[in-house]
Amino acid sequence: MNVLRAISSTLQLQLLVALLLIMPLSSGAETQERTGPEQIVNQLHEALIKAMREGPKLGYQGRYDLLAPVVDQTHDLDFIARTALGANWTQLTAEQQRTFTDVFRKLSVGSYAGWFKSHEGERFEFLERQPMPRDQIMIRTRLVQKAGEPVRFDYVLREGKEGWRIVNVLADGVSDLALKRVEYRAILQRDGFAALIDMLKKKVVLTEQEG
């Protein structure tokens, strides 16, 4: 009888260990599903709609505070900053890289807070998912307005250590990253790093004033 109880206890222990080993794997799979490219874009859209609906009450700073953590979670801002500067990035000191990334983040969040500040029945619609070169994914969407033509927003995402993140946004086919790349590199090469940072800071102030 003691032998049977011992065998039963051993089997129960083995079953418990097996369940503990399986559970993290299932949880991870579910997390991966929840944070795929479509879910990342939806997370951003939900925050933008909320910022629009509560825009007048929140004001610019309130919308900024609402959107900042969402932009951090849905965008790979470090990658975008490096890509915008291209080969010039490696010529900057570590301190200059941190300064640029910090100001770039403030402008990125501030731009969203300034653009999406009131709601008049707008809604986002998913259009399609497209594979892109270098294992990237494009999520095509549009912002449907109560009056006026829909505005297309296409998001390019790449998968990094922290999962899928947005690395470029195309508004009606115009690449935001391409525009930044041309502007930032021209200023950096012509006028230097200090001039580039000064220009970005002025844009942050202007965005706040207009928001």
Contacts with 159 (C-beta within 8 Å, 6 or more apart), sequence order: 135, 165
β 151-160/174-175 pair status: unpaired
pLDDT at position 73: 97
What is the value of pTM for the model shown?
Answer: 0.82
Instruction: Return the structure tokens found at 161.
Output: 């250590």
Residue given tokens 């011992």 in the structure block = 6
Instruction: Kindly report, residue by residue over 3-27, the tens digit of the pLDDT.
Output: 334 334 443 444 333 333 334 433 3
Residue 184 domain flag: yes
pLDDT at position 63: 98
Residue 87 domain flag: yes
- Print the domain residue range for 135: 34-210
Mean of pLDDT values over 178-198? 98
Q: Look at 27-41, 82-96, 109-123 and tell me which has the smallest mean pLDDT.
A: 27-41
pLDDT at position 141: 98
Residue 26 domain flag: no
pLDDT at position 211: 80
pLDDT at position 86: 96
Residue 8 domain flag: no
Which domain CATH number covers 202?
3.10.450.710
Residue 101 domain flag: yes
Residue 105, pLDDT above cutoff 80: yes
pLDDT at position 34: 53
Residue pair 142/153 in contact (Cβ under 8 Å)? The answer is yes
* Beta partners for residue 155, in sequence order: 139, 169
Residue 11 domain flag: no
Count of domains for the chain: 1
Residue 22 domain flag: no
Residue 154 domain flag: yes
